[in-house]
Structure 1
């Protein structure tokens, strides 16, 4: 009876290959998979790079919320550029071509990027929760925002370090492998516990927190629309804008959850039933699930463009060199024009009508209440 080879996962799980599988597929099939992954990488890198440019190149777009969006876009861009392409090549051939140093990187960065992505979403959720549910509480300053972002990256690197630390290059029957050689124990529990802890921390726990927070936010916002809590004029428009922004971020979170769930379930199942890797079709299953997971990196720019007027204007300006894109003067004003004082909505005296506007007291520093540029009606 031949030795069954475990399909490689350089993202979450350990790798314990005991043989060599000839990952042979027809040329046309390999070309189709390569085209699918290439399209994913191009859309994700271009879209997220454009989101970063729209926010950082335009002063009006720089708010606490938008800085977390930049952090999310940067993580998604790097995930698509470094992990999707290289892991596709590895999974297609089961041979590691990229050297020892990149083997360490490939076992460090995916967990880091996933942690940064989902905790950037969680930070946006927390910022919206404080702005809407507890508007009188102190808010994040620009320095505090940068500290939170730096903390997210540091914790992400610490969480991914064990897998990087145990990474190594091996030669098996003439083929180079990039594996994670976990310490030996009687039941192989070390890598299983680490794997389950990672999935809990980068998927289930933050999603649970965001579900509860957005539920409370939704109840708070939609309660203001009942009789006795009607808003008028600018306050009503701002309330509608807040609702629209919350819907946008909920869609972002749900998209992430749907894309990554099958991938996580696949490797959880593999940890308890390793013979699933012995089936002949497992390579196609893995490539499909990995593409779905990686596709989460390309949807956010599309969501922003479809649901946010200022991001649409930014995309038109970014792609104005394309013959089918014609930016207007209004698109430029959307990203550069600062509303006059008469158009700003100041604090009201009740919690139900509190909508923070930009204030000269901040000296141009973004406050988490200054997010009307991302929440137009």
Structure 2
């Protein structure tokens, strides 16, 4: 999410002026090195993870599905955000001033808003898509096409680019004072009401509506999966077998839903709440620290997306293993040891037995 503070330095201007007048330098804050280090870790993990997602999908024909198209779009958005925004934002903490000029001030903050909005709307589109294929499996065969997924993704990008224009228009360089004269990159709206209106819009579009959409879709899927689908004439054994299989599937889906909703809440909630509080007049050192933590959590979402929405799927794990066999070589050697032969044979038998994977296509990232 866009950092809407004028700078990252706490304290009032009058105190800073008086301190500077006494010949003292700016204090060495822990944020100056800790936050950039965390951003560097986020960038490394995010670039590697998202690049692997794109590599696995583009190199395997069986992975080129509608669901994976959304995942690739999500990975591309995260890479764009990590490359174009994270390095510039990291410099705000060790450097007292913005040093990249007014054009980059507008561009970086504009891209932050665009990518954040595109990411959250793409996550919502993925949830709706998985809900549709689960609830209406036959109808989805006609309507869920790569062309439709492409049209939706392009619409998401066009909408995000247009709706984020106010960030570029009202972003500018402002003079400030923090142990000497400084230059800050900040948003300056024509009025406080317009600024608050845009912040409320961002809260709804980037956080609240996607959260409600994701939660509603997966709740509806769980409810749908809990309904029996066998005919009354089926034997009691078939009823019991299907009930046990459905219970196992619901348990796995429930864990997946909890992970998705929890990550969305943790990654995007703090910064959104802090921005709302700040927009409506709350100013404190505690809020400043909470906003830094929320800023880090929102950025970390770009590095955890590949793990949650790709590598937790069975088909992605198989394709990743096929693309990078050396990574899994140690597991193969472990299985061929004499003491593990029985476990290996049992695993093969389990894979041959029906596991109800057909009902899990919407979570396998391969449907």
Do these two structures clear the TM 0.5 threshold for a shared fold by scoring above it? yes
* Per-residue CA distance 1:121-140 (angstroms, 9 max, x = gap): 11111112221222343422
Q: Aligned to 1:175, what secondary structure does the other structure show?
A: strand
Of residues 20, 40, 50 in structure 2, which corresponds to 1:38?
A: 40
> Aligned equivalents of 1:293 and 1:34: distance in 2?
14
> Aligned equivalents of 1:133 and 1:73: distance in 2?
26
* 1:282-321 aligned within 5 A: 283-304=288-309, 307-316=312-321
2:272 matched residue in structure 1: 264
* Per-residue CA distance 1:59-118 (angstroms, 9 max, x = gap): 111111111111112222222333333212214434112222221112211121112112
1:251 matched residue in structure 2: 259
Of residues 171, 184, 189 in structure 2, which corresponds to 1:182?
A: 189
RMSD, aligned CA? 4.0
Structure 1 stretches lacking a partner, 5+ long: 1-9, 330-342, 346-352, 357-368
User: What's the offset of the Cα at 1:45?
Assistant: 1.3
> Aligned equivalents of 1:29 and 1:104: distance in 2?
24
Query: 2:109 touches 2:167 (CA, 8 Å); kept in 1?
Result: yes
User: What's the offset of the Cα at 1:189?
Assistant: 0.5
Structure 2 stretches lacking a partner, 5+ long: 334-351
Query: 2:175 touches 2:183 (CA, 8 Å); kept in 1?
Result: yes
Query: 1:104 touches 1:167 (CA, 8 Å); kept in 2?
Result: yes
Going from structure 1 to structure 2, the CA distance change for 1:375 and 1:151 (only over 3 Å counts) comes to closer
> Aligned equivalents of 2:128 and 2:29: distance in 1?
48
Going from structure 1 to structure 2, the CA distance change for 1:371 and 1:207 (only over 3 Å counts) comes to closer
1:156 matched residue in structure 2: 160
> Aligned equivalents of 1:46 and 1:225: distance in 2?
42
Q: Which has the higher helix share?
A: 2
Of residues 46, 49, 57 in structure 2, which corresponds to 1:47?
A: 49
2:349 matched residue in structure 1: none
Of residues 55, 79, 82 in structure 2, which corresponds to 1:80?
A: 82
Q: Normalising to structure 1: TM-score of the pair?
A: 0.72
1:213 matched residue in structure 2: 217
What is the aligned residue count? 326
Going from structure 1 to structure 2, the CA distance change for 1:134 and 1:316 (only over 3 Å counts) comes to closer
Going from structure 1 to structure 2, the CA distance change for 1:25 and 1:304 (only over 3 Å counts) comes to farther
- Is 1:101 aligned to residue 109 of structure 2? no
Going from structure 1 to structure 2, the CA distance change for 1:164 and 1:19 (only over 3 Å counts) comes to farther
Query: 2:33 touches 2:94 (CA, 8 Å); kept in 1?
Result: no
Going from structure 1 to structure 2, the CA distance change for 1:15 and 1:225 (only over 3 Å counts) comes to farther
Q: Aligned to 2:143, what secondary structure does the other structure show?
A: coil
Q: Aligned to 1:33, what secondary structure does the other structure show?
A: helix
Q: Normalising to structure 2: TM-score of the pair?
A: 0.74
> Aligned equivalents of 1:232 and 1:48: distance in 2?
42
User: What's the offset of the Cα at 1:170?
Assistant: 3.2
Query: 1:71 touches 1:116 (CA, 8 Å); kept in 2?
Result: no
Single out whichever of 247-256 and 224-233 deviates more from structure 2. Answer: 224-233
Q: Aligned to 1:179, what secondary structure does the other structure show?
A: strand
> Aligned equivalents of 1:202 and 1:374: distance in 2?
24
> Aligned equivalents of 1:243 and 1:120: distance in 2?
25
1:337 matched residue in structure 2: none
* Per-residue CA distance 1:156-211 (angstroms, 9 max, x = gap): 1111111111222234454222222211x3xx101001111111111101211222
2:149 matched residue in structure 1: 145
